[in-house]
Amino acid sequence: MVDVLVKTQKLKKYFRAGKSGLLDKILRQLPPLVKAVDDVNLEIGKGEVVALVGESGCGKTTFGRLLTTLETPTEGEIYFDGRQVTKSDQKAVRRKVQMVFQNPYESLDPRQSVKGIVTEPLSKMGISKVEKDAQFEKVMSAVGLDQNFGERRPRDLSGGQRQRVAVARSIVSNPEFIALDEPTSALDASVQSQVLNLLVGLREEYNFSYLVITHNIAVARYISDRVATMYAGQIVELGPTGEVLKDPKHPYTQALLKSVPSLDTKKIEPPHGEVPSLINLPSGCRFHTRCPFVMEKCKTEDPSMRRVGNVDVACWLF
C-alpha cells in the first residue's frame, strides 16, 4: 500500500443559503441548510489519481475546495501527509496544494498578464528571474500555448486558452497535490489529450497526486487509478477505475454510465425522477426516489459503505 497524502474523515460542509421569509424572521429562523458535503471519507495516496464524478450540484467542487483549504469544514477532519490540517497550519499546507477552478474566467485576475498569472505561485519561493522564465516557458509549451501569450490579458483569450493558463499556473510550482475541477471541459478532443498526457507525465515524473473532478467519464477512465461516484453530498461508490466503469455496482453509477453520449447512438437513457434536494434530503438511501431497484428498506435506512471485492459501495443490494 502506498503512503497516504490526503485523507478526510467524516468530512462535512453545510451552507446557509437564500433569504428567509417574513415569518422566518419573526420566528428567528435561519435560512435553510444546504448539505453540500455530508460525511465523506476518502484517502488519496502519494502519486495517486482519484477521479470524482457525480451529479451536478452534488458537492464535488465543495469537496475539492475543502481539500485545498479554501473552505473550512463544518465538521470532520482533513489530514495532509499524516498531520491534521488545522487553522494554524493551513498556510503551510496551502503552499503544497493547488486548485484549478471550474470556471477559469473567475479565477484569472483580469488585470494581470498571462505571465504574471502563471508565475504568481513562484513569487514567494525565492526563485531567480532566469529560473522563473525557464519554468514559465516549460509549462506554457506543455499546455500547448505559444510564448507570446505571456503578454496577453485573460480577456484576449478564448475559453480553452484560459483553461490551459489555469492548468499551467497550477503545475508551475510543483505542488504535491492538485485538485483539478473540470480541467478540460472547454477543450477540443485533441488539446484535451495533450493536457491529460501532460498531467499523467507529471505524475510519473514527480509523483504528484490529483483529485480530478470531471463529468467526462472518458477523462476519468484515462487519467485515474480509482474513481469515486458522488451523489447528494456523499460518496456512494469507490474503486479501481477499470472495474467500476466496466461493472458499476451502485445503481446511480450505472445510470450515469448509461447517459454518456456516444457516436454509436443518439439514444441516451438518463435516470428518471427528480434530482435530489440537498436541503430536504430523501430519507434512507438518497437515491431511492429514482432507483429502479428500490426496496422497502431503502426508503427508511441509509446504507453504509460495504466492501464488495475491490470496490466500496453504499447500497442495500450488497
- 206 touches which of Mg ion, ligand ATP, ligand SF4, none (CB within 5 to 8 A by kind)? none
Cβ atoms within 10 A of the Cβ of 285, count?
27
Residue (55 or 237) nearer to Mg ion, CB? 55
Residues 6+ apart with CB under 8 A from 171: 98, 139, 142, 178, 198, 202, 208
Q: What residues are paired with 253 via a beta bridge?
A: none
Q: How far is the CB of 166 from ligand ATP (least distance, A)?
A: 12
Q: How far is the CB of 126 from other proteins (least distance, A)?
A: 31
Q: How far is the CB of 42 from ligand ATP (least distance, A)?
A: 15
Separation of alpha carbons 317 and 218, rounded Å: 27
Answer for which of 69, 185, 209, 234 binds other proteins (CB under 8 A) is 185
Angle at 184 between CA 181 and CA 185, to 5 degrees: 85
Residue (12 or 152) nearer to other proteins, CB? 152
Answer for which of 77, 137, 156, 301 binds ligand ATP (CB under 6 A) is 156
Q: Where does this chain touch other proteins (CB under 8 A) — which range of 84-92, 171-179, 254-262, 294-302?
A: 254-262
Residue (57 or 121) nearer to other proteins, CB? 57
Q: Where does this chain touch other proteins (CB under 8 A) — which range of 66-74, 81-89, 121-129, 193-201?
A: 193-201
Contact string (CB under 6 A) for ligand ATP, positions 207-246, x = contact:
----------------------------------------
Contact string (CB under 6 A) for ligand ATP, positions 114-153, x = contact:
----------------------------------------
Residues 6+ apart with CB under 8 A from 307: none
Separation of alpha carbons 196 and 190, rounded Å: 10
| 291 in contact with other proteins (CB under 8 A) | no
Separation of alpha carbons 14 and 17, rounded Å: 10
Separation of alpha carbons 315 and 306, rounded Å: 8
Q: How far is the CB of 301 from ligand SF4 (least distance, A)?
A: 9
Question: In the range 220-279, which residues lie near ligand SF4 by CB under 6 A?
Answer: 251
Q: How far is the CB of 61 from other proteins (least distance, A)?
A: 6
In the numeric block, the cell 499523467 is attached to 200
Separation of alpha carbons 47 and 253, rounded Å: 25
Strands 83-84 and 33-45: what pairing?
unpaired
Angle at 9 between CA 6 and CA 15, to 5 degrees: 100
Cβ atoms within 10 A of the Cβ of 148, count?
9
Q: Which residues bind ligand SF4 (CB under 6 A)?
A: 251, 285, 287-288, 291, 293-295, 298, 303, 315-317
